[in-house]
Amino acid sequence: MKILTIGDPHGDLEKIKKIPMNGIELILLTGDLGKADLARKRFFENIERKKNGLKELKYDAELSKNVAKQIYDSTIEILNYLVKFAPVYSITENVWMSDEWARKDEKKFGIKLPHLHEDFKKIKNFNLVKNRIRNIKGLKIGFLEYFVDNCWIKEFEEKDKKAIKRAKKQTEKAKKILERFGSNINFLICHQPPYKFLDEVNWNKGKHAGSEVILDYIKKYQPRYVFCGHIHEGEGEAKIGKTEVYNLGVAGHKIISL
């Protein structure tokens, strides 16, 4: 079987179109399907403002609509292209525009937003998998949703009590899911890399945004392959014991023949 794995597409259809598709039987994505340039720009603007003691820019109705449209349109475009070649599987991640998020902003701002999850159901050959093992043509693949690891809170010295509490809850959940996966999978598809492997960020030199939970899982159970993205500047490959880890960056790819 010829498997194509693609890093966070972020709406870069032109880069994806350059990937050879001949003979591909399965396509696996590490999340962040849509383009989120507007959201990223505001995020990094506020980081700089915070460093300089300035008040953060607000997230308002107009920005909500523009962000939602950009993510929605580019996500649908990417998927409509890929499903023509083979079944496509992806995970949820931090650029995930959930229907819950859309409804929250609709209520908050009195606006109408697209509901991406509902429209996923209309795309044949596409599967969004959340914290499950899928047996695909005899290959066992674990799909782990994005979560904020406790180690991220420590690494970046987060002080927000709500964020700390949320990270603790998400970390415990991820541990339980990975323990359930155990040694039952050949591939792990996750969003962030393992801690201190392919995860150093440019915007805060020397800091690592990977996951200790994922690292511990790899060390203990040694799946054959781990595919991730999230930290774009960390694109590359590493080996942890017998496990081959690939951070595929933005729309980078790896073809595996089994």
pLDDT of residue 220: 98
pLDDT of residue 116: 87
Q: Is the pLDDT of residue 88 over 80?
A: yes
pLDDT of residue 94: 67
DSSP output for 235-256: -EEEEETTEEEEE-TBT-EEEE
* Residue 98 near residue 92 (C-beta atoms within 8 A): yes
Q: Is 144 exposed, middle or buried (0-12, 13-18, 19+ CB in 10 A)?
A: buried
Domains within the chain, CATH numbers bracketed: 2-257 (3.60.21.10)
Q: What is the mean pLDDT of the chain?
A: 94
Each residue's pLDDT tens digit, 53-81: 999 998 899 999 999 999 999 999 999 99
pTM: 0.92
* Percentage of the residues of the chain whose pLDDT score is greater than 70: 98
pLDDT of residue 97: 63
pLDDT of residue 95: 63
Each residue's pLDDT tens digit, 217-235: 999 999 999 999 999 999 9
Each residue's pLDDT tens digit, 160-211: 899 999 999 999 999 999 999 999 999 999 999 999 999 999 988 889 999 9
Q: Is the pLDDT of residue 15 over 70?
A: yes
DSSP output for 114-156: --HHHHHTTSTTEEE--SEEEEETTEEEEE------HHHHHHT
Q: Which of 115-119, 131-135, 151-155 has the lowest mean pLDDT?
A: 115-119
